């Protein structure tokens, strides 16, 4: 099959040479920039609950387990919401989905900031924000894969970099707001900021230009899969299980990173910057991981990143001082950042662009179950045993399981029986 022309080769939107160049701004990079802003605020505000954990517990008397339950609900709702929002984006477009999610996110943060009981907080923060957050990553990632052929892994990695930027910016901002004004005003401020930034950025999102008829014919493989058929493949099961185990392994250590550092004697503001350092390292991991995947394939990079993540988690058992927390944050952040964008690349390679939003939403639903497990389990283990030791031991074992599952990935060409018109030559 002749090389697939880039979806970004429309002369009206890209340089005259037809590539993803920079001599004239290709609109796909605007999509990437908007995606970074949206995921930064969307996921950064949700993940900042770890910064609120200790001051909320001290101010209200609510236990860490009960507050962490809101994070559990975040991800339990985010999973099916991600699947639903992804399917809606395939049908109605990503802009409408992200606009709706941005409005809902701000409302959820504002409402949660006024919660009078822990039950109200769990419902408002856990449910509304979880549903809203599901509208960002899967639809925006699917849109990015449709805009790019060359540099696709890099584009997806940059969109997912919003997670890392959110950790590096929203978390220290939340810590400062809490110190100066209290946790309620801090959470309300984050809600208003979400409205002010996400909604305008969402208006920049648009569909890629239609492919020429010849290119569309060459891409007929994308139309061979129905959602039902794709959900029944062993490839979908393997990707979903790996993503679940990957997130289950790192979600607890990420969420409880600040509280653990404070418990070890690190000042609160310094502990928040440790969390930010992990976010910066995650950002570099996403970019480097995306570039490496464009060269060596997604599977080898995922296996390397998962192994490094498991090692990093195990080292938390031995870490105590501020310098050690900074060093480990850089290693840990790089490891989970390097693998997170690559699951979307595998989904795109296996199942094509037409149902990308739906399928990545389904895979993302599995990952959110893993993300839900860690924060809640960490809070329960801390309340039960007075430390996070068993959290790190359990996360290490789950991380090794993720490596084992990733080793079973087959290359996309194994799907040739389902895609008779396609000659898939890329490896996973």
pLDDT digits (tens, 9 = 90+) for 82-136: 888 888 887 888 899 999 999 999 999 999 999 989 999 999 999 999 999 888 8
| pTM attached to this predicted model | 0.68
What distance in Å separates the CA atoms of residue 170 and residue 44, rounded to the nearest whole number?
Answer: 6
- Our CA angle for 46, 161, 398, nearest 5°, is 70
Fill in the DSSP letter of residue 418: T
> Could you give the dihedral angle defined by the CA atoms of residues 398, 401, 406 and 407, in that order, rounded to the nearest 10 degrees?
160
Can you give the pLDDT at residue 65?
A: 81
- Least Cα distance to 255 among 18, 59, 70 occurs for 70
pLDDT digits (tens, 9 = 90+) for 69-95: 888 888 788 878 888 888 888 788 889
Can you give the pLDDT at residue 224?
A: 59
Distance, CA of 365 to chain centre: 11
Encode 349-384: b = buried (16+ Cβ within 10 Å), e = exposed: bbbbbbbbbbbbbbbbbbbbbbbbbbbbbbbbbbee
Torsion sign over Cα 191, 138, 85, 220: positive
Radius of gyration of the chain (CA): 21
What distance in Å separates the CA atoms of residue 14 and residue 99, rounded to the nearest whole number?
Answer: 26
> Which residue segments constitute the domains of the chain, with CATH numbers given?
27-211+220-417 (1.20.1250.20)
Asked if 256 contacts 50 with a C-beta cutoff of 8 angstroms, the reply is yes
What distance in Å separates the CA atoms of residue 291 and residue 150, rounded to the nearest whole number?
Answer: 11
Fill in the DSSP letter of residue 114: T
Can you give the pLDDT at residue 293?
A: 83
The length of the chain, given as a count of residues: 428
What distance in Å separates the CA atoms of residue 294 and residue 278, rounded to the nearest whole number?
Answer: 24
What distance in Å separates the CA atoms of residue 66 and residue 119, rounded to the nearest whole number?
Answer: 8
Per-10-residue mean pLDDT of the chain, 428 residues long, equals: 41 39 71 90 86 87 85 83 84 88 93 91 92 87 82 81 77 88 93 93 84 48 66 87 93 88 87 82 84 83 94 92 91 90 82 77 82 82 88 94 90 46 35
Q: 6 by DSSP, 3-state: which? A: coil
């Amino acid at each position: 099959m002749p090389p697939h022309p880039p979806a970004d080769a429309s002369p009206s939107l890209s340089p005259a040479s037809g590539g993803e160049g920079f001599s004239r701004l290709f609109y796909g990079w605007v999509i990437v920039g908007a995606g970074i802003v949206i995921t930064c605020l969307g996921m950064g505000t949700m993940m900042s609950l770890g910064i609120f954990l200790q001051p909320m517990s001290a101010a209200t008397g609510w236990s860490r387990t009960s507050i962490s339950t809101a994070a559990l609900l975040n991800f339990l709702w985010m999973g099916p919401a991600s699947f639903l929002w992804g399917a809606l984006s395939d049908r109605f477009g990503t802009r409408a989905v992200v606009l709706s999610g941005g409005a809902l996110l701000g409302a959820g943060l504002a409402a949660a900031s006024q919660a009078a009981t822990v039950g109200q907080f769990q419902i408002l923060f856990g449910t509304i924000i979880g549903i809203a957050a599901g509208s960002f990553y899967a639809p925006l990632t699917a849109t990015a894969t449709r805009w790019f052929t060359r540099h696709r892994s890099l584009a997806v990695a940059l969109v997912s970099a919003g997670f890392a930027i959110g950790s590096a910016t929203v978390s220290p901002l939340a810590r400062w707001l809490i110190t100066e004004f209290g946790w309620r005003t801090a959470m309300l401020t984050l809600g208003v900021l979400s409205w002010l930034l996400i909604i305008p950025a969402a208006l920049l999102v648009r569909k890629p230009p239609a492919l020429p008829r010849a290119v569309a014919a060459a891409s007929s493989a994308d139309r061979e899969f129905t959602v039902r058929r794709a959900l029944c493949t062993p490839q979908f099961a393997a990707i979903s299980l790996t993503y679940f185990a990957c997130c289950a392994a790192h979600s607890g250590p990420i969420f409880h990173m600040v509280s653990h550092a404070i418990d070890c004697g690190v000042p609160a503001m310094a502990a928040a910057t440790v969390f930010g350092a992990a976010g910066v390292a995650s950002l570099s991991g996403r970019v480097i991981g995306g570039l490496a995947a464009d060269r060596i394939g997604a599977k080898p990079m995922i296996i390397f990143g998962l192994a490094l993540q498991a090692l990093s988690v195990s080292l938390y058992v031995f870490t105590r001082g501020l310098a050690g927390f900074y060093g480990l944050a850089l290693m840990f952040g790089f490891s989970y950042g390097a693998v997170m964008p690559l699951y979307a690349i595998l989904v795109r390679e296996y199942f094509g662009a037409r149902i990308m939003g739906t399928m990545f939403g389904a895979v993302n639903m599995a990952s959110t179950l893993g993300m839900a497990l860690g924060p809640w389990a960490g809070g329960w283990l801390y309340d039960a045993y007075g430390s996070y030791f068993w959290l790190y031991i359990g996360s290490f074992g789950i991380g090794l399981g993720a490596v084992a599952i990733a080793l079973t990935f087959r290359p996309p060409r194994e799907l040739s029986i389902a895609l008779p018109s396609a000659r898939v030559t890329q490896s996973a």
